[in-house]
Amino acid sequence: MARDVFIVKAVRTPVAKAGTPKRRGTLEFVRPDDLIALTIQGLLERVPNLPTDAIDDVVIGSAFPEAEQGFNIGRIAALRAGLPVTTTGQTVNRFCASGLQAIIAANDAIAMGRCGVAIAGGVESMTRIPMAGHQPFLNPALAGAHSATYISMGMTAENVAREYQISREDQDAFAVESHRRAIAAQRENRFVDETLPINLNRVVYENGRAVERSLSLITDEGPRADTSFESLAKLKPAFTTTGSVTAGNASQISDGAAAVLLASEDAVKTHNLTPLARILSFATTGNDPALMGVAPIDAIPKALNLAGLSSSDLGVIEINEAFASQSVAIIRTLGLNPTIVNPNGGAIALGHPLGCTGARIFTTALHEAHRISARYFGVGMCIGGGQGAFAVAERLG
Ligand SMILES: CC(C)(COP(=O)(O)OP(=O)(O)OC[C@H]1O[C@@H](n2cnc3c(N)ncnc32)[C@H](O)[C@@H]1OP(=O)(O)O)[C@@H](O)C(=O)NCCC(=O)NCCS
């Protein structure tokens, strides 16, 4: 018999643009295990009546769980955040859905009675761990039947644009709107409640001497108020010379972390917690890896059916904007109301720190559902390798 599970808090860091060979990243000096630990500490500061020894498990999503994201980052994050050694930790990987899958794993463990309180979330430093990892070893046996398994995500977006007839103009218009919404959300302080500002000191070496410098990241770095249809039209295709996917209509590579606190009904009562939401359903679906971006076309109705709802019942939908082409294809094919999909902008403007994103967009959707008093909200994404995921939740309180 499944027990009731409640989401009682959700926070995230601001999303930073990742460092690349061309530019420095604001969070490039921050290890991802430190970043998620800071996020967990910030989460717990917002729930002061919860004793840390009540936290049974920490479940952290990461798309490339290696290097500073490795060694079972769930356990490292728990220890680094100062949780007692009795709090266990695990790592979850479903690529771009990792942060959402971590929330579902924690939810299911509480529902089954395996734990009472859990922290779930995600983290990715795309500065420090590149997409595909530091040393990819591709399986040549997949080259025949599943040759698209390892192709660049940008090429899958080109495939979707071609197959679903999403023009360059459609993609750029969608990207302009993503930036417009994100800038409007920032100007109206809509992200303030969900965001943990990062203020750190770090030591750098300048002219052979160690110097302490302060680092401050208060808001998401990606949104650009100067984004226009005209400026995006000038950008060259990023993944193939003849294509339509550009740096302007693709998600940005980013660094970030997000964390959510989940508790059983007993734990809510014992620790006097305030339920904010509960998860009603979750579904994943698989499709051709070459068209991975449209997999949510199946996952969204599957999850809605499990919840006994239809898309018109949702007041807020967050669908990760991996690329404009796949976002437009999903919205059009399912006939979703575009005004409620990513109302505060998506990953094209805000960035897409892979393993963090599922927890980031869940956090954003939860806060938006409270802001506008929407009863139901949905959160999902496409996933490299040909998968889609979608969760349906109910706002409480
Ligand atoms: C597309 C991609 C390769 C671009 O990377 P990049 O070159 O480092 O991107 P930048 O931010 O430097 O932008 C490139 C150019 O576009 C311009 N640009 C980007 N967004 C813009 C905007 N909104 N308005 C105007 N210009 C913009 C930049 O100013 C830059 O111009 P410059 O070269 O003159 O400096 C990278 O973002 C990417 O790989 N995205 C997809 C990530 C992915 O696959 N995630 C998984 C999804 S499943």
* CATH code assigned at 284: 3.40.47.10
CA dist., res. 328 & res. 384, Å (int): 18
For 198, the enclosing helix (H) or strand (E) is strand 198-206
One domain, residues 286 and 387? yes
Q: Which amino acid is at 312?
A: S
**What's the pLDDT at 205?**
84
State if residue 231 touches ligand 1 by the CB under 6 angstroms criterion: yes
Conformational region of residue 206, where left means phi above 0, alpha means psi within -120 to 50, and beta covers everything else = beta
State if residue 160 touches ligand 1 by the CB under 6 angstroms criterion: no
**What's the pLDDT at 249?**
99
Q: pLDDT grade, residue 202 (50/70/90)? A: confident
- Average pLDDT on 236-240 reads 98
Please pick, among 115, 356, 370, 382, the residue that the annotation labels catalytic: 382
pLDDT in tens, 99-138: 999 999 999 999 999 999 999 999 999 999 999 999 999 9
Nearest alpha-carbon partner for 125 in 352, 327, 367, 359: 352
pLDDT in tens, 350-380: 999 999 999 999 999 999 999 999 999 999 9
One domain, residues 176 and 209? no
Lowest mean pLDDT among 162-171, 194-203, 379-388: 194-203
Please pick, among 115, 179, 352, 356, the residue that the annotation labels catalytic: 352
One domain, residues 108 and 175? no
Cite the DSSP H helix spans in the chain: 32-45, 73-80, 98-111, 153-163, 168-187, 229-233, 265-270, 296-307, 324-334, 347-350, 354-372
- Output the CA 248–ligand 1 centroid distance in Å: 6
Nearest alpha-carbon partner for 282 in 380, 159, 168: 380
One domain, residues 151 and 124? no
One domain, residues 386 and 371? yes
pLDDT at position 213 over 90: no
One domain, residues 123 and 64? yes
Say if 135 falls within a structural domain: no
**What's the pLDDT at 36?**
98
pLDDT in tens, 287-315: 999 999 999 999 999 999 999 999 999 99
pLDDT at position 1 over 80: no
State if residue 395 touches ligand 1 by the CB under 6 angstroms criterion: no
**What's the pLDDT at 261?**
99
Domain C-terminal end among 270, 300, 330: 270
Provide the domain count of the chain: 2
pLDDT in tens, 60-75: 999 999 999 999 999 9
One domain, residues 87 and 186? no
* 219 φ/ψ angles, rounded to the nearest 5 degrees: -130, 165
Q: pLDDT grade, residue 206 (50/70/90)? A: confident
Q: pLDDT grade, residue 267 (50/70/90)? A: very high
**What's the pLDDT at 177?**
99
Which range of residues forms the domain containing residue 313?
Answer: 146-190+280-391
One domain, residues 169 and 288? yes
- Average pLDDT on 194-215 reads 91
- Output the CA 18–ligand 1 centroid distance in Å: 11
pLDDT at position 204 over 90: no
**What's the pLDDT at 111?**
98
**What's the pLDDT at 96?**
98
Say if residues 371 and 363 touch (Cβ distance below 8 Å).
no
Say if 233 falls within a structural domain: no
Q: pLDDT grade, residue 89 (50/70/90)? A: very high
Say if 123 falls within a structural domain: yes
* Residue 356 known to be catalytic: no
